[in-house]
C-alpha cells in the first residue's frame, strides 16, 4: 500500500530490508520496552510479522500476540515468520487498522509501529483506542522521521534544501495526516488523552562505512524517497548531487572511509 505521496513503505521487501539493516539494535530496543511475560499484545499493522515474531518470544507461552494487517502478502509472511518461532502463542488475521478500536479492550499492550501515518485521523484513532483500553494497559507507538537523517560527507546545505523541498510538499497536506514525516509528532501524542503516564524516547540508528549491500540499498531507498516527493521544488543540481552520491552502481558516498548515516525513530509509551 502506498501512502499519499505514492511511496510504498508497506511492501514486504522494503520492510524486510529495513529490519535487516537495523535488526540487532532494534531487537535489543524492543526487549527494553514494557512488554512482559504473560502479556496479551495486539500488533496493529503488523506487516510481515518482523516485530511480532520477536514479541511472541518475549511474552512466552502464557502470553498471546494477535497481529492484524490488511495486506494479504504481509499476512502470509507474518504467519510464516511466526510459525518459524515454534511458539503457539500467536494469531494473525487480515483486518483493517480501525478494528483495533474494538479489539484493544482485551489487550495489555497495543503496538503501533510505523502505522499511524496510514490512519486518516491519528488523533481520533488514539483517543478512541485509549478510551477503550483498561487501566494500566500500554500503547506503544514507534514512527519514522526522515527529517532527522544526518549524513557525514554530504553537503548539509544541499541536504537541508532536499528536506525543505519535501517538507513543502508535506505541508500542502493535512497536518497530522498521512505523510512520510509522522515521527516528530510522536513525542506530542500523549496530549490526545489523559494518560496515567507517558514516556518518550528516540531510537538512533548509526550506519557507517564499510557498508553492506543491504546498507547501501537502504540508504539509497531512503534518499530516493526524499528525491521522489511529487510536486517538489528540488532543483536539478541538487538532484544530480544526490544521484551521484548515492547511485547504487558507483555512488561516491559508499566509498568514503568516514561516511555514515544517522537516522532517528520516535517512540512513545502511553500508559492508560
Ligand atoms: C510501514 S508498515 C509497518 C509494518 C510493521 N508494523 C513494522 O514496523 O515492520 C505499515 C503497515 O500497515 C499496514 N496497513 C496500512 N494501512 C492499513 C489499514 N488500513 N488496515 C490494516 N493495515 C494497514 C500495511 O499493510 C503495512 O504492513
From ligand 1's centre to the CA of 237, what distance in Å? 35
pTM (two decimals): 0.86
pLDDT in tens, the chain (272 residues): 444 344 455 666 766 776 666 677 777 888 899 999 999 999 999 999 989 999 999 999 999 999 999 999 999 999 999 999 889 999 999 999 999 999 999 999 999 998 988 888 888 999 999 999 999 999 999 988 777 889 999 999 999 888 877 777 655 443 333 344 578 889 888 988 899 999 999 998 899 999 998 899 989 988 887 887 655 577 888 889 999 999 999 999 999 999 999 988 899 999 99
Ligand 1 centre distance from Cα of residue 216 (Å): 24
| Separation between Cα atoms, residue 86 and residue 140, nearest integer Å | 25
Residue 21 CB–ligand 1 contact under 6 Å = no
Determine the length of the chain.
272
Contact (Cβ atoms closer than 8 angstroms) between residue 93 and residue 66: yes
Q: Within 13 Å and on the Cβ side, how many CA atoms surround 72? A: 0
Query: DSSP labels for 199-224?
Result: EEEEEEEEEESSPPHHHHHHHHHHHH
Q: Which residue CA neighbors atom 8 of ligand 1 most closely? A: 113
Q: Is 41 helix (H, G, I), strand (E, B) or coil?
A: strand
Would you say the CB of residue 12 lies under 6 angstroms from ligand 1?
no
Going by their DSSP bridges, the two strands 260-271 and 197-208 should be labelled as: antiparallel
Amino acid at each position: 500500500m502506498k501512502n499519499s505521496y505514492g511511496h510504498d513503505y508497506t511492501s514486504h521487501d522494503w520492510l524486510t530490508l529495513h529490519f535487516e539493516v537495523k535488526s540487532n539494535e532494534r531487537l535489543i530496543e524492543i526487549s527494553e520496552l514494557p512488554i512482559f511475560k504473560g502479556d496479551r499484545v495486539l500488533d496493529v499493522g503488523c506487516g510481515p510479522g518482523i516485530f511480532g515474531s520477536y514479541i511472541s518470544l518475549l511474552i512466552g507461552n502464557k502470553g498471546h500476540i494477535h497481529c492484524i494487517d490488511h495486506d494479504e502478502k504481509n499476512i502470509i509472511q507474518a504467519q510464516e515468520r511466526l510459525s518459524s518461532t515454534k511458539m503457539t502463542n500467536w494469531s494473525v488475521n487480515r483486518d483493517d487498522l480501525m478494528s483495533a478500536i474494538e479489539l484493544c479492550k482485551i489487550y495489555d499492550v497495543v503496538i503501533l509501529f510505523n502505522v499511524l501515518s496510514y490512519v486518516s485521523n491519528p488523533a481520533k484513532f488514539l483517543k478512541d483506542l485509549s478510551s477503550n483500553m483498561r487501566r494500566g494497559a500500554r500503547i506503544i507507538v514507534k514512527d519514522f522521521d526522515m527529517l532527522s537523517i544526518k549524513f557525514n560527507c554530504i553537503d548539509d546545505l544541499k541536504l537541508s534544501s532536499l528536506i525543505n523541498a519535501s517538507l513543502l510538499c508535506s505541508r500542502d497536506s493535512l497536518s497530522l495526516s498521512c505523510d512520510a514525516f509522522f515521527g516528530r509528532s510522536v513525542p506530542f501524542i500523549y496530549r490526545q488523552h489523559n494518560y496515567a503516564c507517558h514516556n518518550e524516547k528516540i531510537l538512533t540508528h548509526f550506519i557507517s562505512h564499510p557498508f553492506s549491500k543491504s546498507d547501501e540499498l537502504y540508504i539509497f531507498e531512503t534518499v530516493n524517497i526524499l528525491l521522489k516527493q511529487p510536486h517538489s521544488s528540488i532543483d536539478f543540481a541538487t538532484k544530480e548531487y544526490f544521484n551521484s552520491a548515492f547511485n547504487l552502481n558507483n555512488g561516491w558516498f559508499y566509498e568514503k572511509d568516514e561516511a555514515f548515516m544517522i537516522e532517528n525513530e520516535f517512540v512513545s509509551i502511553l500508559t492508560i
